[in-house]
């Protein structure tokens, strides 16, 4: 049975989804550097919308052009992925982009770079994961070069339409082509873990619990 994103957010988390990816031979789906949550401790799950960014060292003739097009094209349950190669040159995402994206149905953003307006985005309840923070505006410092094209963040290739699961443990990317079976496996593992946890709480040893349930 296919579940809604709202149902997935209530049940899944990054570690169990990474385990499910392992089951299907996808052992390198977690971004391999820290993009910690900046505004929330809740799990973020949605559909990737990719964007590639570059640093600028001259005047941008069309500031904000492609990033605004990306935001206006967002749909329900989208998560913007900003691949900025970890640049701290400016805060490429802030309150106004969050407001505009949220109005279109976007449920969060993951930035391999810096953000700003963190207290305001936290007050909005808009999930933001990022490498760091910068007070500087992106105008004439950074810009989007393309969106909805494959990007690489922390050793993981990400395409628009992939599923992202992010929380305090990390960020996991589930390829679109295998998302249904991987998310179903993760869902089943969560419930199997609950059974195992209950057995351990009732006194079963870890060795016996693993022998019986095969869950760790």
Annotated binding site for Mg(2+): 117
Annotated binding site for substrate: 94-97, 116
Q: What is the DSSP letter of 159?
A: -
- How far out from the chain centre does Cα 97 lie? 17
Integer Cα distance of 93 and 41 in angstroms = 19
Pairing of strands 170-174, 163-167: antiparallel
**Number of helical H runs and strand E runs in the chain:** 7, 9
Partners of 53 in the beta sheet? 144
Q: CB-based burial of residue 203 (10 Å sphere; 0-12 exposed, 13-18 middle, 19+ buried)?
A: exposed
Partners of 79 in the beta sheet? 48, 108
Residue 10 CB: number of other CB atoms within 10 A? 11
Q: CB-based burial of residue 160 (10 Å sphere; 0-12 exposed, 13-18 middle, 19+ buried)?
A: middle
R_g of the chain, CA atoms, integer Å:
19
Annotated binding site: 94-97, 116-117
């Amino acid at each position: 049975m296919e579940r809604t994103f709202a149902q997935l957010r209530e049940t899944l988390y990054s570690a169990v989804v990474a385990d499910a990816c392992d089951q299907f031979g996808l052992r390198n789906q977690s971004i391999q550097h820290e993009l910690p949550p900046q505004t929330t401790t809740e799990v973020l799950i949605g559909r990737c919308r990719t964007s590639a960014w570059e640093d600028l060292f001259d005047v941008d003739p069309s500031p904000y052009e492609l990033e605004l097009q990306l935001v206006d094209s967002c749909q329900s349950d989208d998560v913007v992925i900003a691949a900025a190669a970890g640049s701290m040159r400016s805060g490429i995402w802030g309150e106004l982009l969050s407001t505009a994206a949220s109005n279109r149905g976007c449920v969060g953003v993951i930035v391999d770079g810096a953000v700003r307006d963190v207290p305001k985005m936290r007050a909005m309840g808009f999930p933001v994961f990022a490498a760091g923070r910068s007070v500087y505006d992106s105008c004439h410092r950074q810009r989007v070069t393309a969106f909805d094209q494959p990007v690489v963040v922390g050793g993981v290739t990400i395409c628009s339409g992939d599923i992202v699961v992010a929380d305090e443990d990390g960020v996991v990317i589930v390829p679109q082509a295998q998302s249904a079976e991987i998310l179903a496996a993760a869902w089943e593992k969560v419930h199997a873990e609950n059974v195992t946890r209950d057995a351990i709480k009732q006194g079963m040893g870890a060795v016996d619990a693993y022998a019986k349930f095969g869950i760790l």
